């Protein structure tokens, strides 16, 4: 059974209703459709271009949702081999290879490599396994490396027991919402 029980799909936009494959096993925790729909409703239902970074990509469903809703390009990063394979399969399924880049590496290394390429993002998605609690370190790294464009958004999905700071330098929380008692999302914006 595992993750196969959870049917993932694209919620809105160009690929609305399309089913996505989930990562086999229990090492990843897919974002539910309800949480994904609510998060994108908060961030803005549709986007007019931009570049997205899906930092703990898993199946890639969050970054794919961003492309479906109008982002031009998404970079998918994960350290798990099965996750990278699943992201690649989902990208091929939707025929969006030209709009994506997929890399297998550690999140911090990925941020440094991205900074060397002088990349900036309009949306950064952070959804690590809940057992990893280094959100503040990742957010600090994003700020120090200047990876977020002005008015850019950072989506953090985390356990409700984790309190994320209301501001980190120029990043300010615009919304925190709890779902089902265990899942919370905190959305920051670069001011």
The CA distances from residue 55 to 127, 166, 174, 180, in Å, are 7, 21, 20, 24
How far apart are alpha carbons 144 and 171 in whole angstroms?
A: 12
pTM for this predicted structure: 0.91
Per-residue pLDDT of the chain (191 residues; tens, 9 = 90+): 333 445 689 999 999 999 999 888 765 666 777 888 888 888 887 788 999 999 999 999 999 999 999 999 999 999 999 999 999 999 999 999 999 999 999 999 999 999 998 889 999 999 887 666 689 999 999 999 999 999 999 999 998 888 899 999 889 999 999 887 788 999 999 98
Q: 5-9, long-range: CB within 8 Å, 24+ apart, which pairs?
A: 6/30, 6/32, 8/33, 8/59, 8/61, 9/33
Structural domains in the chain (count): 1
Instruction: Give the CATH number, domain containing residue 101.
Output: 3.40.50.150
Quote the pLDDT of residue 132: 67
Quote the pLDDT of residue 65: 95
Residue 148's domain comprises 2-190
First to last CA, the chain: 44
Quote the pLDDT of residue 28: 61
Q: Which two tokens stand for residue 175?
A: 């919304």
């Amino acid at each position: 059974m595992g993750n196969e029980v959870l049917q993932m799909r694209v919620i809105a936009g160009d690929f609305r209703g399309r089913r996505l494959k989930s990562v086999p096993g229990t090492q990843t925790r897919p974002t539910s459709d309800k949480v994904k729909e609510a998060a994108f409703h908060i961030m803005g239902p549709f986007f007019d271009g931009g570049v997205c970074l899906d930092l703990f990509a898993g199946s890639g469903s969050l970054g794919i949702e961003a492309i479906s809703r109008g982002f031009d390009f998404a970079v998918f990063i994960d350290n798990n081999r099965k996750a990278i394979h699943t992201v690649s399969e989902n990208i091929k399924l939707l025929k969006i290879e030209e709009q994506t880049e997929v890399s297998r590496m550690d999140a911090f290394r990925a941020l440094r490599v991205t900074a060397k390429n002088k990349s900036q993002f309009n949306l950064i998605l952070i959804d690590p396994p809940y057992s990893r609690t280094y959100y503040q370190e990742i957010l600090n790294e994003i700020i120090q490396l200047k990876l977020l464009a002005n008015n850019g958004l950072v989506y953090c999905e985390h356990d409700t027991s984790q309190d994320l700071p209301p501001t980190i330098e120029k990043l300010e929380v615009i919304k925190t919402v709890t779902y089902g008692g265990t899942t919370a999302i905190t959305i920051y914006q670069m001011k």
